[in-house]
Each structure stands twice: as C-alpha cells, then as structure tokens.
Amino acid sequence: MTLSSRPPMAYDKIRTLYDVHRKTRNSQQRERFLAAEFRGLDIDPVLLKLENPDVEPGFQDTRHCFVFWARPPEHILRLASHLQMLLKQAAPNLWLMPLHRMHMTTLEIAHSRTAEEIADLVASARPVIPALTSLTFSRRARLVKPMISFDLSAVAVSFLPAAGEEPLTSADRTAKDDEYTYHHLRRDALNMASGHVEVASRYVVPSAHITLGRYLTQEDHETPEQRRKWIQAIDDINKWLETEVWGVKDGEFVGEWIVGQERGLDSRCGTLWYGGGRTIMTGEGF
C-alpha cells in the first residue's frame, strides 16, 4: 500500500511511538543494571571470537544476511564518534563499531542464513534493488533528537522521526515534509521488497538507531558502583545531547539526519552482523 492510498498517521503520533519505545526500553535496562540480582552483561560470543582469535582459533562467522541500510552522513558520523569517545571514557573495554561500518537498518530481508540461501534471495530481489536503494532520493524522512539507548548487550544512538521542528540542514524543508516519516520509509521499503522476496525481519519495533558499541567483557560493570557510574555517564551524555545538540543550528554537532543525505540506501549481503559484508548497490544521494 502506498502512502497516497490511505491517510497517513499524524507524524506526532508516530513520533510518540518511537519516543515511548526508547524511553521505556532505557528505563527497563536501567533497572536491570542497578538490580541487586544483576547477573552480568550479555556478551556476544561470535563477536568475542572474531575480536579475540585466541578464544577459538580459525573461527568464522557463517551467518549470512540481506539488508538495506541507511548510511549516516558525515555530520552524524562526527556526532557518533564523539559519543563513542564519551562512552569509552566510562567503559574502557567497550568494543566500538568502526565509523566506516556504521549503519541504520531500514529493511532486513533475512538474517542468519547460508550464503546460498542469501544468494537466491538477492537474485529474486534484483529487479527492485535499484528503485529501493534510491527510494530516499524522493521520499526524504527526517530524524532528530539523538539519544543514547542501551541494554545488556550493546549501546546505540537512537533518533526520533521529526515532527515539525525547524530544519537544521535543509533550508527548503517545511513542516509538511515531516508528514512522511522514517516509519513510512520503512513501510514503503518493505512493501517494495515483499513483491519479490519473502521478508523475515527482526526489526519490527519503532526504532531508528545506529549501534555504537558492544560489551566484550564484564570488567567495566562487575561492581554495583561501576554500574551506577555507567548509568550516570549515559544520563550525562543524554542531558548534553538534549541541551547542546537538539535543535541547535550552529553548534559543534548537528543532531538532524535526513535519510538519503550523501547517499541512498545501501543494499548489502554477507556476514554483516557487525557492519561487514559487501554492497550490492547504493542508491543516489542528495
């Protein structure tokens, strides 16, 4: 179903869904970190083996995937790098996502499949890949208000769909343009792909996030005091974002991202759980 075939949900309602999701999740994770019965972080065993070959010499990740990523533009990468630096100060052993691998998953077709299964899906989707990767050239969804989101396995920077805020990076954008949100973009990408392949995505929650880092050791969070400091560090970063980045036009960092800035969606396949894999096609940016 296209955007014009039914009245879209008001952008403020969609924004509320995304806002409630990330605030609720952070609140839940805060309770887990500070709980007296805390039982440790969720260390990713695959990433641990890839980053530390001594754990299992010769190990290879065999989980192949097929996705469409939104790649952050330069000003968002600058912000993400600064956030990583602040997080690393609070947790020195945090594994950081390399900047050149950063992404936001707009559409996941399949994950954790064999290379042959993914190759078949890519072949089936080829007729729609050019149009889908360039979808963001004409349908420009805006994201704002970055915030650190976290759980027991990873930490990310999450965004909200814009809802009429003053534009920071596009002078000709109007409040009406925000009626087409990132959620609509995800929906349209899904509808386009579904006509060619079966979509089996994990990403169904109202979230727009870039993974910044993952935990590979318990060392930084072993004691209650360490965990309290970690939560406080995240609170401090989020306060800084709200006061120094949100809606600030001429600040050091820009917290607005119009998806498709610099390049369109990145159609990608392979072992890409941690930003790897290979590009099939990247759409036109603006």
pLDDT at position 3 over 50: no
pTM of the model: 0.94
- Count of domains in the chain? 1
Radius of gyration of the chain, Cα coordinates, nearest whole angstrom: 19
Grouping H, G, I as helix, E, B as strand and the rest as coil, residue 156 is strand
What does the alpha-carbon distance between residue 277 and residue 268 come to, in Å, rounded to a whole number?
7
Which structural domain, as residue segments, surrounds residue 113? 3-52+62-282
Q: Cα(204)–Cα(226) distance, rounded to whole angstroms? A: 33
What's the CATH number where 8 sits? 3.90.1140.10
Q: Is the pLDDT of residue 123 over 50?
A: yes
Question: Which whole number is the average pLDDT over 34-57?
Answer: 96
Task: Give domain status of residue 21, yes or no.
Answer: yes
Share of the chain above pLDDT 70, in %: 96
In a domain, 57, yes or no: no
CA 53/CA 182 separation, integer angstroms = 39
Q: 233 in a domain, yes or no? A: yes
* Any domain includes 185: yes
Tens of pLDDT, residue by residue over 150-179, are 999 999 999 999 999 999 998 789 888 999
281: nearest Cα among 263, 272, 268, 271: 268
Residues in the chain: 286
What SS3 class is residue 194? Answer: helix
Quick one: average pLDDT of 255-280?
97
- Supply φ then ψ for residue 25, to 5 degrees: -65, -45
Predicted confidence at residue 8, as pLDDT, reads 47
Q: How confident is the model at residue 38 (pLDDT cuts 50, 70, 90)?
A: very high
**pLDDT, tens only, 79-121:** 999 999 999 999 999 999 999 999 999 999 999 999 999 999 9
Q: Summarize the confidence of residues 245-274 as an average pLDDT.
A: 96
Domain membership flag for residue 7: yes
pLDDT of residue 175: 85
